[in-house]
Amino acid sequence: MTKLFTRIEETENYLKLKKETHELKIIVELSTVFKKLKIDTTLNFLDHMIYTFSWGSCISIGCQVETGRWRSTHTIAEDVGITIGTGLKSFFTKKIQDSGINLTGSAVFGLDESLARVMVNVEGRRHTFFSIYPDCPGARVELVEDMNFQDMFSFVEGFFQGFPASVHMDFLKGRDPHHAWESAIHALGESIRIAFTSNPWRKASNNPYYAEEGIADAALG
């Protein structure tokens, strides 16, 4: 059986991962050390949001996308999310087993008139829940820059297909769709950063629910 993901290079602080199908070739780089990595998904706003996520999470991220016969913005957004999430899972899994991490994180972030709240729970359950409050009409539009608005939801959903966690993303305030999403993605990054923070109490071997597995995820290999 063909592997969906190929690990091109891996060190303690760096991972280079490839996902290739008939539709897309995606190369993702991740590093826990600050690096200036190139992002080019062919979608300008998605590039901006990945940089935003990188800044919030304190994880260096690079991403290169080549499209095949069909160029589907939905597929680009979703599969880029899946690949980044899958790569990040490797860092979390190793640190859970070696030294322990918080596993949960939450953040509120605002940009100008917009405000968003995100909670992440890394426990092997892959769920994505969105709430759009009445004071956030910017999260109820058709387009944000060069992307269909729905494709941004697909990016987040894709990320949590690859990354074994549940997320609640609440759009609390915002008139401008760019600001609404930037607030939400930055809050997501901050939540991931907090979840990844060292916590020896929560080392995998101490976990009363999943013991050495650390988190209940059959796809950790």
Q: Is 36 exposed, middle or buried (0-12, 13-18, 19+ CB in 10 A)?
A: exposed
Whether the predicted pLDDT of 33 surpasses 80:
yes
Average pLDDT over residues 148-158: 97
In angstroms, rounded to a whole number, what is the distance separating the alpha carbons of residues 68 and 7? 21
- pLDDT for 218 equals 47
Domain ranges for the chain: 5-213
CATH superfamily ID and name for 5-213: Imidazole glycerol phosphate dehydratase; domain 1 (3.30.230.40)
Name, in order, each residue with C-beta under 8 angstroms of 126's C-beta and a sequence gap of 6 or more.
160, 161, 163, 164, 165, 166
Rounded to the nearest 10°, the torsion over CA 8, 159, 194, 57 is 60
Name, in order, each residue with C-beta under 8 angstroms of 46's C-beta and a sequence gap of 6 or more.
76, 77, 80, 147, 151, 152, 155
User: Could you give the C-alpha distances from 74 to 26, 77, 108, 156, 167, in angstroms and in order?
Assistant: 14, 5, 27, 12, 20
Q: Residue 126 — pLDDT band, cuts 50, 70, 90?
A: very high
Phi and psi of 176, rounded to 5°? -90, 125
* pLDDT tens digit sequence for 62-117: 999 999 878 899 999 999 999 999 999 999 989 998 999 999 999 999 999 999 99
List, in sequence order, the alpha helices (H) in the chain: 44-57, 73-98, 149-162, 177-195
Of 179, 185, 174, the residue nearest 134 (C-alpha):
174
- pLDDT for 129 equals 98
pTM of the model: 0.93
Rounded to the nearest 10°, the torsion over CA 157, 160, 161, 165 is -140
Average pLDDT over residues 199-214: 80
Q: Tell me the residue type at 101.
A: I
Q: Is 129 exposed, middle or buried (0-12, 13-18, 19+ CB in 10 A)?
A: exposed
